[in-house]
Every structure is written in C-alpha cells, then in structure tokens.
Amino acid sequence: MDMNIGVLDHYNVSTRKLNETIRFYEDVLGFKNGFRPQFSFPGAWIYSGDQPVLHLNDISGTDRQQPSDSGVIDHIAFGSRGFEAAKRHLDGKGVPYRINQVPNSTRWQLFFRDPNNVEIELNFETKYELAA
C-alpha cells in the first residue's frame, strides 16, 4: 500500500462557549486564535505555532444539540515539554488536573478538561527533561 497517514492535522469542537473556549486555549495552552476562512457559520481556528490544531464551530445561535460530554472524542493529546512548569501554570490558572505515569516508562501525563468537557492530555518524556 502506498498510502501514508501523517500526524494529527486538527480536531473540531462544536461549542456554545466560543469566547470561553478561545480564552481557555490561549491562556492555558498558549495557543493563538488565528486566521479562519470565511465559512458560512461562525467559529474560530486555534493555532499551535503555524498549525491550526483546533477548529471551533459556534453553535450558540442554532438549535443543534451538543452532547453533555465530548461525544465520541475521548481525549486530545499533545507532546509537551516542561512538566513541572506545566503543573505550576495549570495551578496558577485554577485548572484542575490529574497526573499519570505510564507504567514502566519515564513518560508522565497531565489530564484536564476544556470548557466543552473535552479531555486534554499533555505527554512529557521526563527522561529528556531531567537530562537537560
């Protein structure tokens, strides 16, 4: 087979909390609200660096149902650096989180939820951080 699937391009969340969601990703993860094509519906594109990783659809002006949880999305994961700094940052923002160590590894994870109840996972390969 000649097909090759690459890394995650983006994920999409339908929200009734557009501004709160934008602020969350800017304040908590340091992402930026950036360019979005002129679609026929309101929303935002949230960027990590030059890549729009989160597309938001504003459904507040519609009767479209939004699941009370994150629907079929269980979580979104990001490779990360600075485990201790990330914990301090989340504490400072008042974002509750849980910590997990992957068994038999040096990978630690932080889990928390965005305003739409989507779980965010930050992965830290601490053996590289401790050696730095």
pLDDT in tens, 86-129: 999 999 999 999 999 988 888 899 999 999 888 899 988 887 77
Residues 6+ apart with CB under 8 A from 49: none
The arrangement of secondary structure in 1-60, i.e. its CATH architecture, is Roll (3.10)
CATH 3.10.180.10 spans which residues of the chain? Answer: 1-60, 73-132
The arrangement of secondary structure in 73-132, i.e. its CATH architecture, is Roll (3.10)
Phi, psi of 4 (to 5 degrees): -135, 115
- CA pair distance 49, 78, nearest whole angstrom: 13
pLDDT in tens, 122-132: 988 887 776 54
